[in-house]
Amino acid sequence: MDDLTTITVLRKRVSDFRDERNWLKDNTPKNLAISISVEAAELLERFQWKTDEQIREAVKDEVKNSQVSDELADVLILCLSFSDVMGIDISEAIESKLRKAAEKYPVVKTSLTAEL
């Protein structure tokens, strides 16, 4: 679905869900930022105490994979709500951040690519 789904459509899906439940008044930027952190830690918890080898095995397990997808979705749903409440255009924010990161970490041409 990611090929066809724009950020705006996803954000609308999330804000409709919230509005049908009258959750808007609790959706302050501070409360949402708290919940983004809480959900990010729940995602991290899935990998806690595990070696890379154990994780490679675990990702073959469909149930565990779907738990990881759910945790990632929680983080993203809250990020979409946060961008909604703050009026942030996510594509622009990412583009702007990558441009700053590109200045900090310029692409290094190796001798091979430099020759070409």
Minimum distance between the CB of residue 27 and a copy of itself, rounded to whole angstroms?
A: 9
Contacting residue, 24, 28, 57, 61, with a copy of itself by CB under 8 A: 28
CB atoms under 10 Å from CB of 78, counted, come to 22
Which position has the token pair 């675990």? 58
Minimum distance between the CB of residue 87 and a copy of itself, rounded to whole angstroms?
A: 9
Nearest-10 Cα torsion for 63, 68, 72, 73: 10
Minimum distance between the CB of residue 50 and a copy of itself, rounded to whole angstroms?
A: 7
Tell me if 24 contacts a copy of itself by CB under 8 A: no
Q: Chain centroid to CA 6: how far?
A: 14
> Looking only at residues 30 through 89 of this chain, which bind a copy of itself when binding is defined by CB under 8 A?
30-31, 33-50, 52, 55, 59, 65-66, 68-70, 72-77, 79-80, 82-83, 86, 88-89
**Which phi and psi (to 5°) does residue 60 adopt?**
-80, -15
